[in-house]
Structure 1
Amino acid sequence: MPVSLRQIRYFVATAEHGQVSQAAGELGISQSAITTAIKELEQIVGVELFTRSTQGMDMTPAGRQFLFHAYEILNKVEEATSLLLPANDFAGRLTVAATYTVIGYFLPNHLGRLRRAWPNLDIQLFELNREAIEDGLLANRYDMAVLLTSNVINPDLTTETLMSSRRRLWVPARHRLLAQGAVSLREIAEEPYIMLTVDEAAHTALRYWSLSSFRPNVTLRTSSVEAVRSLVADGQGVAILSDMVLRPWSLEGKRIETIVPSEPIPSMDVGLAWRRDAVFTPAMEAFRSYFRQAFFLPPHR
């Protein structure tokens, strides 16, 4: 019996939520449908993908390995069905600046699609912080940038947001706060806090914390998202980070859960930027058109 996309989607939803009930709620189907699909999938691959307990569904080592393949399959299907770019044989060169978070968690898959769509488009990519990117765009060192548009402050730049990634509280599995539907900043302030510093994350966090009378109990500041992931999963602290960088498992195989804060937390917005008076080249037009199609934005004028 071949593996179906339905089984893979149900498997991924269950892996990410750790609960059949939550996966069913997200997909809008019955819990029994997910349970049946996962059992069928386990029979096909010949191994158990989850261990079942009263607390939920914990992935086995084989399940974690299968999850990486499942993500790749779903990405390929999305690429094949949702993005129909017109053929274009032009040759051009494009210099693109991007920040650390964007290069690590947003751009790689899109760069592959761009190169397959326009094999003669030579994209030169540079990793920089926001300030260096803004200066470089204004000085014509870079044609365009992909960065956190929510951080851009220079009025001489035009930005176009592609996606807004919700920020949630990361906690280890079976954390006491998981029993609540939402948590307040007051409750979060009582926990040891791992503060991410890369891409102005600490500055952004202090902006919304400053609107309350509470402050995070920071026990460590780090520029590594993976360090935050491992420390939170190990129970050494909590963190508020965006869904774009969320992976439900640490490198050590420990699970991370998320909770929605009760106070409004600004999203992390990702998009494009260019000099306000820039004259678009064919390469710049192709780059922008790709992302607008990929994120279902209306045609630009």
Structure 2
Amino acid sequence: MNITLKQLTYFKALAEQGNFRRAAEQCHVSQPALSVQIQELERSLGGALVERQTRGLLLTPLGREVLETAQRVLSDIAQLERSAHNRLGLGGALRLGVIPTIAPYLLPEALAALRSADISLDVQITEGKTDRILDLLAEGALDACILALPSERDGLEERALFEDRFLLAGSAGRLESLGPDINPEGLGDSQLLLLEDGHCLTDQALAACGRGRGHARIHMGASSLPTLTRLVEAGFGLTLMPELAAATERAVAPGMGLRRFDGVQPSRRVGLVRRATRQPAPWFDALADTLAQVGSGLVNDARLLCDALAGATAGRNPLPQKEKGAGGTG
């Protein structure tokens, strides 16, 4: 017995159309070619599938059984083809992990861009600290993660997306008291407010400012960037604000000032990671390209905002040309 998908396709069309000519037109073949394939299918199955009558065709009991099977088989084949297409492109279900200092700022525009590129994409987001989402990635519960590079985990493929510089955020009075020139390691006795331990942004801020966790003027306890924003706006201290978050946070806290550091800029490298395999993953490259484009646009908007704020305060701290990656574990 040698039943082919072509025969099942032709038979399904014949059953739906009830006419050899219309079925042949639907399948874009000649009527004799379709008839030959139906005859071959009947020969393989050992019985007639249709009865020819003056008003059209009727399916035999065997024909009804074969039609049910053909519909199921062809549906399964179509699903396999869609899955293969989605895996080679950017579609289907994508399980994406994102750290909290990136998720609320990058995802709204990124998801809109992904949907406009492929309406069938179903993105399932898991937000968590770096160690948690990397553990889920290793377990196969996630397909990729957006975090700060390097990930410092073995067996991962990394793709850098964009550079996210750090701004100094605080009340207008606190920022004014620092004088005309500021650098991360020259904040003196200023109170530095940071996220609670476990956030990679805390490690990056400490490294940029040259302070250890035991420093008398370090306070780590905020659970989110919005919390830090409200605290520094109220004058409780200073914090390092990623450019990616700057526009969003200042929109809800207009009393928070932002200043750019002079000279070499501290920053983090935002990237996309997945489990490293020998199989090609065009979806990963396509996703990375979209995220890079959106992220670069957001940080560029933040630079324009910071330039405008600097212009409002006698033009201090113009946009620098050099960057310094602060590194970090995500």
Could you state the TM-score of these two structures normalised by the residue count of structure 1? 0.58
In structure 1, the partner of 2:165 is 166
Which one-letter code corresponds to 2:250 in the other structure?
W
**Number of aligned pairs?**
206
Q: Is residue 235 from structure 1 mapped to residue 235 from structure 2 by the alignment?
A: yes
User: Within 2, Cα distance between the matches of 1:186 and 1:147?
Assistant: 25
Q: Quick one: structure 1 residues 110 and 284, their matched pair in 2 at CA, closer, same or farther if it must change by over 3 Å?
A: same
- Kindly state the Cα deviation for residue 265 of structure 1 after the two structures are TM-superposed: 5.3
- Kindly state the Cα deviation for residue 160 of structure 1 after the two structures are TM-superposed: 1.3
Pairwise CA RMSD of aligned residues? Answer: 3.2
User: Within 1, Cα distance between the matches of 2:185 and 2:129?
Assistant: 32
In structure 2, the partner of 1:106 is 106
For the 8 Å contact 1:233–1:249, the answer to whether it is kept is no
| Cα deviation digits, residues 110-153 of structure 1 (max 9, x gap) | 10111122011222221122112222222322211112224x11
User: Within 2, Cα distance between the matches of 1:225 and 1:209?
Assistant: 18
Give SS of 1:136's match. Answer: helix
Q: Quick one: structure 1 residues 218 and 122, their matched pair in 2 at CA, closer, same or farther if it must change by over 3 Å?
A: same
For the 8 Å contact 1:145–1:272, the answer to whether it is kept is yes
In structure 2, the partner of 1:249 is 250
For the 8 Å contact 2:95–2:125, the answer to whether it is kept is yes
For the 8 Å contact 1:230–1:250, the answer to whether it is kept is no
For the 8 Å contact 1:172–1:234, the answer to whether it is kept is yes
- Kindly state the Cα deviation for residue 274 of structure 1 after the two structures are TM-superposed: 0.9
Give SS of 1:100's match. Answer: coil
Give SS of 1:111's match. Answer: helix
For the 8 Å contact 1:129–1:199, the answer to whether it is kept is yes
Could you state the TM-score of these two structures normalised by the residue count of structure 2? 0.53
Give SS of 2:236's match. Answer: coil
User: Within 2, Cα distance between the matches of 1:90 and 1:176?
Assistant: 45
| Cα deviation digits, residues 258-280 of structure 1 (max 9, x gap) | 23345755312212111122634
Q: Quick one: structure 1 residues 90 and 193, their matched pair in 2 at CA, closer, same or farther if it must change by over 3 Å?
A: closer
Which one-letter code corresponds to 1:231 in the other structure?
L
| Cα deviation digits, residues 170-222 of structure 1 (max 9, x gap) | 1212436367332245652312221223632222222233479x946124521
Q: Where in structure 2 are the equivalents of 1:279-294 lying within 5 Å? A: 279-281=279-281, 283-292=283-292, 294=294
Give 5+ residue unaligned stretches, structure 2: 1-87, 297-330
In structure 1, the partner of 2:142 is 142
| Cα deviation digits, residues 49-88 of structure 1 (max 9, x gap) | xxxxxxxxxxxxxxxxxxxxxxxxxxxxxxxxxxxxxxx9
Which one-letter code corresponds to 1:103 in the other structure?
A
Q: Where in structure 2 are the equivalents of 1:100-249 lying within 5 Å? A: 100-150=100-150, 152-175=151-174, 177=176, 180-185=179-184, 187-197=186-196, 199-210=199-210, 215=215, 217-219=217-219, 221-247=221-247, 249=250
Q: Quick one: structure 1 residues 142 and 89, their matched pair in 2 at CA, closer, same or farther if it must change by over 3 Å?
A: closer
User: Within 2, Cα distance between the matches of 1:131 and 1:176?
Assistant: 34
Q: Where in structure 2 are the equivalents of 1:88-107 lying within 5 Å? A: 91-107=91-107
Larger Rg: 2
Return 134-143 or 162-171, whichever deviates more: 134-143
User: Within 1, Cα distance between the matches of 2:245 and 2:295?
Assistant: 18
Q: Where in structure 2 are the equivalents of 1:31-50 lying within 5 Å? A: none
User: Within 2, Cα distance between the matches of 1:206 and 1:255?
Assistant: 25
- Kindly state the Cα deviation for residue 92 of structure 1 after the two structures are TM-superposed: 2.0
Which one-letter code corresponds to 2:109 in the other structure?
N
Give SS of 2:199's match. Answer: helix
User: Within 2, Cα distance between the matches of 1:211 and 1:89?
Assistant: 45
Which one-letter code corresponds to 2:172 in the other structure?
A
For the 8 Å contact 2:89–2:286, the answer to whether it is kept is no
Give 5+ residue unaligned stretches, structure 1: 1-87, 297-301
User: Within 2, Cα distance between the matches of 1:187 and 1:230?
Assistant: 24
User: Within 1, Cα distance between the matches of 2:189 and 2:183?
Assistant: 10
- Kindly state the Cα deviation for residue 241 of structure 1 after the two structures are TM-superposed: 2.2
Identity of matched residues, %? 20
Q: Quick one: structure 1 residues 282 and 166, their matched pair in 2 at CA, closer, same or farther if it must change by over 3 Å?
A: closer
In structure 2, the partner of 1:9 is none
